[in-house]
Structure 1
């Protein structure tokens, strides 16, 4: 009688990919506004008042998802690449807000 090989757990991979996608949803609008304000017209800068709170909210969610993915990766002895990427991008999404609030 042959034994059935258990399928590998993919919880860490799923949380990591979700964290990365969610973080990119928060970072991309802010980056687009910075590019538009710097090249096309400086009057696009007011859109930062809409995109920065979105980046902070979504970045926090991505950071939490990334940390959950790291915990799952540790428990499953799996890959850490996607959870680390999601955690780093979630933390990076707070950098434009910190620069904006500090006047830099």
Structure 2
């Protein structure tokens, strides 16, 4: 009887996909508010004050998950694509808050 080879570790893939989803959950509402304020009615702009804190929260979580995924990918010798995408989207989610705080 032959042994079944062990399944490859997918920790980096899971953390990377989770980071990407969490970052998109933070980015999409703010992007929708910017589109509505630019096209439909400028009075939608106040909704940024509701979506921006959520974007910062989810962006920070996504950045941490992406870095954890990168550490798992390094340890397992796996793929780096999803953790890098999640970490980059986490940084992108933090950019509007940084521009808002720094007056840019």
For residues 35 and 69 of structure 2, what CA distance do their matches in structure 1 show?
32
Structure 1 moving runs of 4+ over 6 Å: none
- Give CA-to-partner distance per residue, 1:39-82, whole Å, 9 cap, x none: 11010000000000000001000000000000000000000000
CA RMSD of aligned residues (A): 0.9
Residue 4 of structure 1, CA deviation = 2.0
Paired residues in the alignment total 104
Which residue of the partner structure matches residue 95 of structure 1? 95
Residue 32 of structure 1, CA deviation = 0.4
TM-score by length of 1: 0.95
TM-score by length of 2: 0.95
- Segments of 5+ residues of structure 1 without an aligned counterpart are none
For residues 36 and 29 of structure 1, what CA distance do their matches in structure 2 show?
11
State how 1:33-72 maps to structure 2 within 5 Å: 33-72=33-72
Residue 96 of structure 1, CA deviation = 1.2
